[in-house]
Amino acid sequence: MAESIGSTPTKTIERVCVSPASKGQIWLPCTKVITYKDFKRKLTISGGQKKTKACLNLELIAGKEISSGEGSLLTNILCQNCADKNETVVRKILEVRESFESSRKSTEAEKGRTTMWR
């Protein structure tokens, strides 16, 4: 953005308009419009009855269950880039949990008692 000397910088804000027609093409967290079907990852399949791996990963990261009822999700897709990033984060979370549990068990064995970690 070219600015003249002494001018005040301005902010521009982009807002995404989600309509029923665009609902299947926009992933809101990164606001990408995904038109190429190979870059879309669905959150639910079988009419919202079954959650995909991408949805389960998102639930683990968010710490909340994503309701899969019809009409409850603003959009049923996420972009491939976000899905890949989420999978990496979930893998790291599970590695930390496994390491933590291993450490807890070795401490219990060493001390000869149950250790409560919170």
Q: How far is CA 31 from CA 15, 39, 56, 104, in A?
A: 9, 14, 21, 41
Please tell me the distance from the alpha carbon of residue 63 to that of residue 68, in angstroms, as a whole number: 15
User: Are 60 and 93 a contacting pair, CB within 8 Å?
Assistant: yes
pTM above 0.75, yes or no: no
Domain edges within the chain: 26-111
pLDDT recorded at residue 40: 79
- Say whether domain 26-111 belongs to CATH 3.40.1800: yes
Residue 3 has pLDDT above 70, yes or no: no
pLDDT recorded at residue 23: 59
Please tell me the distance from the alpha carbon of residue 78 to that of residue 17, in angstroms, as a whole number: 16
How do residues 55-110 score in pLDDT, each as one tens digit?
899 889 888 887 765 555 667 788 888 889 999 999 999 999 999 999 888 888 88
How do residues 18-49 score in pLDDT, each as one tens digit?
666 665 666 666 766 777 778 878 888 877 77
User: Are 87 and 36 a contacting pair, CB within 8 Å?
Assistant: no
pLDDT recorded at residue 99: 94
pLDDT recorded at residue 104: 87
Residue 2 has pLDDT above 90, yes or no: no
Torsions phi, psi for 79 (to 5 deg): -80, 155
